[in-house]
A and B are shown apart, each in its own frame.
Chain A
Amino acid sequence: MKGSDVTVSGISKSFGAFKALKGVSLEIKKGEFFSLLGPSGCGKTTLLRVIAGFEEPDSGIVGIDGRDVSGLPPDKRRCNTVFQSYALFPHLTVFENVAFPLRLKRLPNRLVRELVMKHLSLVQLEGHAEKRPSMLSGGQKQRVAIARALINEPSVLLLDEPLSALDAKLRQRMLVELDSIHDKVGITFIYVTHDQQEALSVSDRIAVMDQGLVLQIGSPQQIYENPASDFVARFIGETNIFAGVVASREGPFATVECEGLGPLLVEANGEAPLGARVSVAVRPEKIRIAAESPGARPELNVLSGVVEEPIYSGFQTKYIIHLAGGGSVTVFRQHANWSEGVPDLKWKDEVYLSWSARDSVVVESDAVANDEVVNGAARPPAP
């Protein structure tokens, strides 16, 4: 496999008194499509710039291909960057933009033409070689930036929110294309984004960041199904979070006593000692909603409530349910197999919510998050 492994260990970086990175460590494998995902201002760009060599870290080491590259200038690391603003040279044509690094190396014209055309065809821009950047659309500029970053044949490509300036439809198309470019060139991609959908759909692995820290590293599925903390659970997709205390444990399951809701049976992977304050996370699409009680089964959690707001959006309906015990829960109902019976749930209808213990997880509750839990019963019922 082409590409390099990238090792980041113990990177810290401050701007004045502000700590942008607080000891970040990552292991990125050769040829991997690796995403740095986190809210705006969490330090993603700073980390990318440290890897690229634009920013000198206060401490920590960056290794590319097993070689320590700390202190080397950007052009001496085998990586190139696609900048958020594209950073195309406005006075040069598309062709000369892409040819820029080759011109610096004084390669013969024929070779330059061959290489540039090869890369322009990789990003499907052969027909635009003689245009200036100002004549291109956002998506085309993006492709030029990618072709230019690839022409030096780096073994790592760094992309800083490359799609953020494009509209939603185009973003989807570019994302698919980016994925196919990754497959074709086979090098390591490090992709920065604040958009969880983007990260989930293309990444081999994702590092979720917040406030200068890496909170969790894993495949999209791991991150979505087994979030490590409140923050990750809420940042990736929609989630219902209930705060509670571990009351008992039996096998892989724990019973968590939640305020206002009573006991919930939850799958707990190891760490959930008796008496610990934890959060229970349940994805809205895992909850069944019905007008009748599903009946008691040992592994089933059942809550009852009142429909506060049905929100129809074509492929699914989102219900916000006011729980009998206080607080509210979000539920998605997919419109698959619609013919088997349309649940006619209206505003103020009484409903039963149920989900299997295996479909909910115990996550670490960070104190900050507890104060602002959106959906769950952690919010004290209004007096």
Chain B
Amino acid sequence: MKKLRLHGAYRAVRATLKGIRPLPPRISGSGPPATGRKGHAKRRRGIAVSDFVYWAVIAFLFAPLVVLFAYSFNSSKSGSWTGFSFMWYERLFLGSGLLWNAFGNSAIIALGSASAATLLGSLAAVGTSRYSFWYRPYVKSMSFIPMILPEIIVGVSLLVFFAGVGLKLGLLTVWIAHTTFNIPFVYLLVSARLEEFDPSIIEAARDLGATEVQTLLRIILPITMPGIASGFLTAVTLSLEDFVITFFVAGPGSTTLPLFIYSAIRFGVSPVINALSAVMVAGTVLLIYPARNFLKAYAAH
């Protein structure tokens, strides 16, 4: 629940920012053509105020990250700056077997649950948009429930369920849990994409001789690919960062990165975690641009 709200707040800020001030051309790629001198002159005052708001919000969002980044290079464990050093990175990459074990678990779970959720969520979206059957409205409304329910309730109910069917807590249960909460997100994103496209395209494919399966593979799938891809990426992200649900359904040997970090932090913040966070932020930034460009290129046609 908290995660969702944060996500929403972030989106709202982003949207507001976009409205106030176009992103610098470096970031927006093939951005809009530069506005004429006249337009600028007219709006100078407005821009001055919005510039201030823009930088204030940026500072607010990124200051913690900057601090974290700086402290990952601190040469001591203390809260004050004692000198520059790579020691925490050394310890992160060379002396943290358990951490990398947890990272491995997270990666397996994230990719595994995102793949399963993408497959199931996309098929569900195609099914509810293309076919009508008596329980279609129920599928449509029920699929949102895991998204709306507080995570703690999802976590507890999954735990009770796994105990009930006698499934031992471990990677399998974490995978099932993550797949469960990821499906609605994929379903939503793919449905949105499907709703956009003209149903007569499918009729045209059938008219020209495509079978149901050929229509799915050659027409529906490629057209909805941006929705499927963003569904997959969303699922990976949600799975990587999930703590509450995982906390309930993880067992020995299936500790994920968030669980590991939480348990490590209970004994005081280790700068290794700072280093790890810095690496993850850098990794995310590096991954976002290719992904964005891919989606953009795909959406362009």
Find the A residue at minimum CB distance from B203.
A54
Which residue of chain A has its CB nearest to the CB of B197?
A90
Is the CB–CB distance between B207 and A80 below 8 Å? yes
**Known contacts A89-B201, A91-B222, A132-B301; A73/B210 CB under 8 A:** no
CA distance A87 to B206 in the complex (A): 12
Contact yes or no, B207 A104, CB < 8 A: no
Q: Are A74 and B207 in contact (CB under 8 A)?
A: yes
CA distance A149 to B209 in the complex (A): 11
Measured CA separation A113–B201 after assembly (Å): 23
Contacting pair B208 A104 (CB below 8 A): yes
Contacts of A87 in B (CB 8 A): 198, 200-201, 203-204
Question: By the criterion CB–CB under 8 Å, are B223 and A74 in contact?
Answer: no
Whether A148 sits at the interface, judged by CB under 8 Å, is yes
A83 lies within 8 A of B223 (CB): no
CA distance A89 to B223 in the complex (A): 8
For residues 83 through 103 of chain A, which have their beta carbon under 8 Å from a beta carbon of chain B? 83-85, 87-91, 100-101
Known A85-B198, A87-B200, A134-B301: A148·B208 in contact at CB below 8 Å: yes
When each residue 281-301 of chain A gets 1 if its CB lies under 8 Å from chain B and 0 otherwise, what string results?
Answer: 000000000000000000000
Most A CB contacts (10 A, CB to CB) among B200, B203, B208, B301 go to B208
Give A153 Cβ to nearest chain B Cβ, in Å. 12
**Chain B contact residues, majority secondary structure:** helix
A52 at the interface (CB under 8 A from B): yes
Given A74-B203, A85-B200, A89-B201, CB of A100 within 8 Å of CB of B208? yes
Interface size classification for chain A: 20 to 34
- Would you call A130 an interface residue if the criterion is a C-beta within 8 Å of the partner chain's C-beta atoms? no
Measured between C-beta atoms, what is the minimum distance from B285 to chain A in Å?
29
Cβ contact within 8 Å between B206 and A100? no
A184 in contact (CB, < 8 A): no
Task: Kindly state the separation between the CA atoms of A281 and B223 in the bound complex, as whole angstroms.
Answer: 54
Q: Which residues of A contact B203 (CB under 8 A)?
A: 54, 74, 81, 83, 87
Contact A101 B201 (CB under 8 A): no
Number of interchain pairs (Cβ within 8 Å): 61
* Chain B residues, Cβ within 8 Å of A90: 197, 201, 223, 301
> Which residues between 148 and 162 of chain A lie within 8 Å of chain B, taking CB atoms?
148-149, 152
Taking CB atoms, residues of chain B closer than 8 Å to A110 are none
Docked CA distance A75–B205 (Å): 9
Output the nearest chain A residue to B222 by Cβ-Cβ distance.
A91
CB of B214 within 8 A of CB of A104, answer yes
Q: Which residues of A contact B198 (CB under 8 A)?
A: 85, 87
Question: Known contacts being A83-B200, A104-B214, is A89 close to B219, with CB within 8 Å?
Answer: yes
Interface size on B, residues (CB 8 A): 18
- Indicate whether A104 sits within 8 Å of B301 (C-beta atoms), given known contacts A81-B204, A87-B200, A89-B219: no
A169 within 8 A of B: no
Q: Which residue of the partner chain, among B206, B208, B219, B222, contacts A152 with CB atoms under 8 Å?
A: B208
Q: Within residues 16 to 55 of chain B, which ones have a CB less than 8 A from any CB in chain A?
A: none
Chain A residue at minimum C-beta to C-beta distance from B300: A134
The answer to whether A75 touches B200 (Cβ under 8 A) is no
Give which listed residue, A52, A75, A88, contacts B209 with CB less than 8 A: A75
**From residue B132, how far is it (CB to closest CB) to chain A in Å?**
14
> Are B206's CB and A74's CB within 8 A?
yes
Query: Is there an interface contact between B208 and A83, defined as CB atoms closer than 8 Å?
Result: no
Complex Cα distance, B208 from A40, in Å, reads 27
Q: How far is the CA of A14 from the CA of B198 in the complex (A)?
A: 23
> How many angstroms between the C-alpha atoms of A134 and B298 in the bound complex?
13
Interface pair B223/A52, CB less than 8 Å apart:
no
Residues on the A chain within 8 Å of B210, using CB: 75, 100, 104
The answer on a CB contact under 8 Å between A81 and B207 is yes
Contacts of A81 in B (CB 8 A): 203-204, 207
A104 to B214, CA, bound (A): 8
Question: Cβ of B209: which chain A residues have Cβ within 8 Å of it?
Answer: 75, 101, 104-105, 152
Interface residues of A in 102-146 (CB under 8 A from B): 104-105, 132, 134
- Which residues of chain A are within 8 angstroms of B201 by Cβ–Cβ distance? 87-90
Q: A residues within 8 A CB of B206? A: 73-75
Give complex CA distance A236, B204 in Å: 32
A91 to B203, CA, bound (A): 16
Q: Are B208 and A75 in contact (CB under 8 A)?
A: yes
Question: In the assembled complex, which residues on chain B have CB atoms less than 8 Å from the CB atom of A54?
Answer: 203, 207
Residues from chain A with Cβ under 8 Å of B205 in the complex: 89, 100
Within 8 A of A (CB), among B194-239: 197-198, 200-201, 203-210, 214, 218-219, 222-223
- Tell me the bound Cα distance from A87 to B210 in angstroms: 14
Q: Please, which residue of chain A has its CB at the minimum distance from the CB of B209?
A: A75
| Given known A91-B301, A104-B209, A132-B301, contact A83–B222 (CB-CB < 8 A) | no
Query: What are 24 A-B contacts with C-beta separation under 8 Å?
Result: A74-B206, A75-B207, A80-B207, A81-B204, A83-B200, A83-B203, A85-B200, A87-B198, A87-B203, A88-B201, A88-B204, A89-B201, A89-B223, A90-B223, A90-B301, A91-B223, A100-B218, A101-B208, A104-B208, A104-B210, A134-B301, A148-B204, A149-B207, A152-B208
Taking A87-B201, A89-B223, A104-B210 as known contacts, 18 extra A-B pairs with beta carbons closer than 8 A to each other, sorted by chain A number, are A54-B203, A73-B206, A75-B206, A75-B208, A75-B210, A81-B203, A81-B207, A85-B198, A87-B203, A89-B201, A89-B204, A89-B205, A91-B222, A91-B301, A100-B205, A100-B210, A101-B209, A104-B214
Interface set of B (CB-CB < 8 Å, partner A)? 197-198, 200-201, 203-210, 214, 218-219, 222-223, 301
